[in-house]
Structure formats: structure tokens, C-alpha cells
Amino acid sequence: MKLLSNREELFARIRAQMHEKRYKHTLGVAQSARELAQRYGADPDKAELAGLLHDYCKCWPVEKMFEILVRHDMPTELLEGEKELWHAFAGAIVIQNDLGVTDPDILQAVRYHTTGRAGMSLLEKVVCVADYIEPNRNFPGVEQIRTLAEKDLDAALALALGGTIQFLIEKQKTVYPLTLTAYNDLVSRKGKEGGL
């Protein structure tokens, strides 16, 4: 597709969707995703592109995202759950329809970067972890996740998702089922291999 062969135009389209702080975050995720992909053997170009596109709809009005999700028959539990998750699912739809991204690996990485899921692909894990550890992130525990990401991607992701689950519980917010199954999947796999 013409848009994706022209990096300047792609960056301009992405930049137009978000405010400055979100754009800086996006560039950080793309950089971190490329680095993690190189470290763990995922495709660095796909990782970088998924990182660039992961928050494409993040700054859109929730009404617009809701309309997209309803039109594409998203699950009721998503539509009735936390609106913070909508941008990932809407984003995967929008980048396919508006930008012509058809690579299923990239679309899945964008779709599941906030929730995770059981049986995540390497690229999905890379983008999800990159979203947590990109250089502009600053929250309690981020350095521990960054350090872990240098030697064990699954352990870093389990720690990150566990922290998210704990945060949601403390705030008395619902935990999306895919996040729980992603965490359980990572921990049970590691348990069989000898622990996280």
C-alpha cells in the first residue's frame, strides 16, 4: 500500500491522531518493540510498525470507538467493560480499513496490546511489553519489568500483567477476562518449565 511505503506520510497520519505526549509514547513503543524483536527473534520491522500503530485510536472519542466496535460485532463483555481497552480493538479494525494493514501478525499485536490473551505470539508479547517499558514510561515497578525484559520476555510480561491486574483490583475496576487468561497462561507455562 502506498501509505505504508512512505514513512513520512505514515508518521504524519499517526501524529494527526494524537496529542504530543501520546505521540512521544508511540515512538518510544516502536523503538522498544524493535529492540525486543531483535533480542528475541521476532520480525523487527513488524514489531516497529505494530508499535507505531498500537495507539492509533487511543485519543479518539469513546463514542467513535464504540460505534466501530458495535459495527464489527465485538463481544458484549468488551463493550460493557473498561473503555480504556476499546482503542486496541478499534485500532486493529481502523488500521486495516483506513491504512490497508493486512498482516494478521501486526493486527493481532495491536488488538491484544492492552489485554493480552492466552497463547500470545512472540510479536504480540514484544509489543505488549514494549508498551509497558518504553523510555517515557514512569510508574512503580517499571524498572523491574525493564530489567526482566532483557533476559526473559515471558517473565517480564507476566510481571507487567500481574501489576495491571493488582492495580485494577485495588481500584475496584473489572479485569478483562483475556488479561486473566494471558497471565494464567504465562504463569502455568513457566511453572511447567521451572518457574518465573
Alpha-carbon span 136 to 12, nearest angstrom: 21
Mean pLDDT of the chain: 93
* Percentage of the residues of the chain whose pLDDT score is greater than 90: 86
Q: For 83, what's the count of Cα atoms within 13 Å in the CB-facing half-sphere?
A: 11
Whole-angstrom Cα distance, residue 146 to residue 3? 33
Question: How confident is the model at residue 2, as a pLDDT?
Answer: 42
DSSP state letters, 14-32: HHTTS-HHHHHHHHHHHHH
Q: What is the pLDDT of residue 153?
A: 98
Whether the CB-CB separation of 160 and 129 falls below 8 Å is answered with yes
pLDDT of 79 higher than 60: yes
Write the CB contacts of 108 (distance below 8 Å, at least 6 apart in sequence). 92, 121, 123, 124
* CA–CA distance, 134 with 98 (Å, rounded to integer): 26
Tens of pLDDT, residues 121-172? 999 999 999 999 999 999 999 999 999 999 999 999 999 999 999 999 999 9
pLDDT at res. 190: 76
pLDDT at 194: 60
